[in-house]
Structures are given as structure tokens and as C-alpha cells.
Amino acid sequence: MVKRKVSNPLALAVLAVLSESSMHPYEMAQKLRGRGKEQSIRINYGSLYTVVDALCRASFIEPVETFREGRRPERTVYSLTPAGRVELREWLSEILRTSTKEYPEFEAGLSLMPVLPPETVAPLLRQRVESLEIRLGEVRAFMDQMRASGLRRLFLIEAEYEEMMLRAELAWVKCLAEELEEGTLEDLEIWYRWHQGDESSRSFAIRGEERHMT
Amino acid sequence: MVKRKVSNPLALAVLAVLSESSMHPYEMAQKLRGRGKEQSIRINYGSLYTVVDALCRASFIEPVETFREGRRPERTVYSLTPAGRVELREWLSEILRTSTKEYPEFEAGLSLMPVLPPETVAPLLRQRVESLEIRLGEVRAFMDQMRASGLRRLFLIEAEYEEMMLRAELAWVKCLAEELEEGTLEDLEIWYRWHQGDESSRSFAIRGEERHMT
DNA sequence: CGCGGTATACTCGGCTCAGAGTATCCGCCA
DNA sequence: TGGCGGATACTCTGAGCCGAGTATACCGCG
């Protein structure tokens, strides 16, 4: 778990494309886009050039030539250094090997959910179900399209992972929404009363304590 | 999907605790820690004070008094404004309602996985299984501990969500590792040959095209 | 009664990042 | 042939964010 000198995942993608052949930054973006990597790694120009620069400073890549055609801005072609190859292997291994805690927005939302009254939350979760279904459709469409263009399944493994995670969340959210709608959720009673301003629900978060929440 | 003036999830947590009662920044952090919110929302001092400041500038919160005890640094107590209350409700609703695409590291890792040879990847995934199991244990321990201190289940819903997502990932990774170990994964053959430098696997990513990868 | 360790309460500087803006070239249609 | 849209290829600015560092107070222990 060494701290990486360049920690943006886009840098990992840069190292990966350069492990194939030398190229200039814009071409890297094209390559990654062509393979549909923008689905799993955020590619944006601002970060791309910053990241290439940072990789250069860390000596993981180096410029091999610069040229210009016409009066276009100069293109600098970069190539991977041996140190860069090592970094690529180690970093990628670490990512596959260890699961680091991330903080998805929805988890934060859930943890503050009781701030809203339960009658409000139920329809919101229903909307989420729809939203997840749409996203699921997009992922499937993306996979079909990529496969149609001849890409092997191995190169769509990250999309399969995303699909599976979406399905898992979908099932869970559906279940939670149902419990809310049918009133079978534990603690729903006090949650409701608390939002009515009921004094008897002062101890809301904690069983048998004075009032406070979140 | 309005763009938030202050977009750090920590700001949402600040609005949420202030919806209960006015307090100073350090107390907010204590409250959130006490409820175990540091599991679902990144709380760190640097961000906390920046975020409080930003919320002030956006008029979602305002200072109500400042005092000092002894020769300790000054404490500023903040309270929620009506605009802040509206922001809290809307922001939280949006998070619960819509799923926005996030970019977990592991997904990026998977999408670049073929850079490593398959014999290397299999044991890495096995290590991930272990790592996920450890994390799962931590989440369970956290829930038990919180429940033991009297916290209602409703306030641990985000932990239940995390547990479920961990289980889903665990099952999937186990399955993938197995397929690799038993050689039943589609495309495993060429993946292997490609790393041997075999010329017949030049068309690796794409079926029937010249060599390139990622 | 002196000392170290822990809790309190911030501050600061530097790095990262996003995304809007800029400038050039090419193809095409009228 | 002139103009316009779209692709190419960056650049720049400002805001966000982190985490190490700082300084004081309190508390227990020998």
C-alpha cells in the first residue's frame, strides 16, 4: 500500500496504453475512447495533460519526439520508461488485490435519510429504481455495441462487473422501498412520529436517550 | 440535477447536524463520529473548515456567536438558515432519487486487467477475496458495536447497504477467480498466448484485426 | 508536583482537477 | 470560393481538497 506519486486512475490508463506503443496525449484519449474505457475511467482533457506532465516528472514516461504539422500546436510523443512499466504492473496489481473503502454518494444519502420524513423517502427510492434501470439499459447497450464491433468479452469484463453491481443495488433498493410502503420497516413508527413533532419520539436515534439525530 | 454551490458530501452532513441544533465545527465532527458517520462520509479537518466556510458564503449557514474559554482558540457557533434547510432537503432528495455514475478503482483495474498475464491475475483476485472478507468482518463488527450502544437499525441502514454490496462483489470476484483457475474463462487462451509473445494472437482485443490492446 | 500523553480546535500550503475557452485545420455545400 | 460546422489539440484559471503541522488545555501517574 505504497502511496503513489501520481494517483489519478487516468494515469494508470496512460501507462497502460503506452505499454503498447508510444503516442501523444490526444491519441491516448482517442485510443481509450475507442475501447470504451471512458465508461470505467474518467477521461477529461484538463486532467489528461496534467497527468501526463506528472508522469513525466516522476520519470514513468518520457518525451521521445515533438513535431508539428502545419501551424497546429506542437505534438509531443511520449513513451514508457522501464520504471513506468514497473509502476504499471505494481499499481494495477495493488488495485486488483486490495479493496479500498470508497464513499459512494448514495451511501452518504442513506446515512442521512432520516432527516427526511418517511413519506417523502419512499417515492424517492421508487425513482431511484427507475434511474438504476435506465443505467442498466445503458450498460447493456454499451456492451452489445462494443461486442458488435468485434471486441472480445475479456475486454468488457468491467462492464459485466458494473452490471452485476447495478443489479445488486436495484434489488436492495426495491426491497427497501417495499418495506417503507408496506410499513414493515423496523423503526418506521418512531421515524414517522418524530417528523410529526411528537414528544414521545424524542429518543429517536438512540433507544432511551434524549433527543438528537443523524 | 442542478449544480450544487457546495458539492462535498461532508457539506451535506454539516447541514444535517445543524438541522438538529447550532454548534461549532469541531462539535459537528464529534457528533458525526459518535454516530459512526465517518464510515459513509469522509470527515477530515481540512475539508471540514473549508466546507463550513463555503456554506457560509452560500448563506446556507451563518455564525451566531463566537466565544473562547480560557486561552483556547476561538469557537464560532453556526446555525442553519432557511435557505440551508431547503438545500439540505433538495440535495438529499436528489441523492436518494438518482444514481450518478461513479468510478470505483476496481472497475478501472478490471478494464486494464489484460495488461497483466492471466497467471498473475488469478492469485491477485484470490487476495482480493480475502481483503473483501476482512472488510465485511469490519462492517459487521461496526454494526454490532453501534447496535450494542443502543443505536436503532434505521441509523445503520447505510452499513447494511455496504454489507450487501460487499457480498455481491465477493461472490462475483470468487466466480471470476475460479474461471481463471479452471481455464473456463472465454478468451483466456489468447490472453495467455499474447503474453507469451505469440504472433498468432496479434489480434487480441478485437477479433480479426491487427494487434493492439487495453 | 512535574511530565507525558491525549483531547481540543484549528491553520496553511500545496497539489489536483474540472471544464470552459482558444486556435487551427478540413470537408462540404451552396 | 467563401463560409460554416465539426474535429483536432491543447491551455488556463480558479476552486476544491487533503493531511501534516501547530498550539493550548487537561488529566492521570509516579
Mean pLDDT (10-residue bins), chain B, 214 residues: 83 93 90 88 90 91 72 74 94 94 94 95 98 95 88 93 97 98 93 82 58 42
- Measured CA to C1', the nucleotide nearest A73 is D9
Cα torsion angle, A36, A41, A44, A47, sign:
negative
Per residue in A41-76, pLDDT (tens digit) is 998 888 999 999 999 989 999 988 766 555 555 678
In this complex, do B113 and A169 lie within 8 Å of one another by their Cβ atoms? no
Instruction: Return d(Cα A112, Cα A205) in angstroms, integer.
Output: 12
Measured in whole angstroms, how far is the alpha carbon of residue B174 from the centre of its chain? 22
In this complex, do A158 and B110 lie within 8 Å of one another by their Cβ atoms? yes
In whole angstroms, D23 C1' to B71 CA is: 10
Asked if B64 and B79 count as a contact pair (C-beta separation under 8 A), the reply is yes
The string of DSSP letters for chain B reads -PPPSS--HHHHHHHHHHTT--B-HHHHHHHHHHTTGGGTS---HHHHHHHHHHHHHTTSEEEEEEE-STTSPPEEEEEE-HHHHHHHHHHHHHHHH-PPP---HHHHHHHHGGGS-HHHHHHHHHHHHHHHHHHHHHHHHHHHHHHHTTB-GGGGHHHHHHHHHHHHHHHHHHHHHHHHHHT-STTHHHHHHHHTT-GGG-S-SBTTS-S---
Average pLDDT of chain A, as a whole number = 88
Per residue in A111-164, pLDDT (tens digit) is 999 999 999 999 999 999 999 999 999 999 999 988 888 889 999 999 999 999
Q: Which of A12, A41, A105, A139 should be substituted to probe chain B, the one whose Cβ sees the most B Cβ atoms within 10 Å?
A: A105
Q: What is the CA radius of gyration of chain A?
A: 24
pLDDT number for residue B97: 95
Instruction: Return d(Cα B5, Cα B122) in angstroms, integer.
Output: 45
Angle between helices A82-97 and A9-18 (to 10 degrees): 130
Residue type, A107: E
In whole angstroms, D19 C1' to B44 CA is: 8
Percent of chain A surpassing pLDDT 70: 87
Q: Which nucleotides of D are covered by protein (CB under 7 A)?
A: 8-13, 16-21, 24-26
pLDDT number for residue B67: 63
Between the alpha carbon of residue B188 and those of residues A48, A88, B98, B109, B121, the distances in Å are: 32, 21, 37, 17, 12
Instruction: Return d(Cα B120, Cα B116) in angstroms, integer.
Output: 7
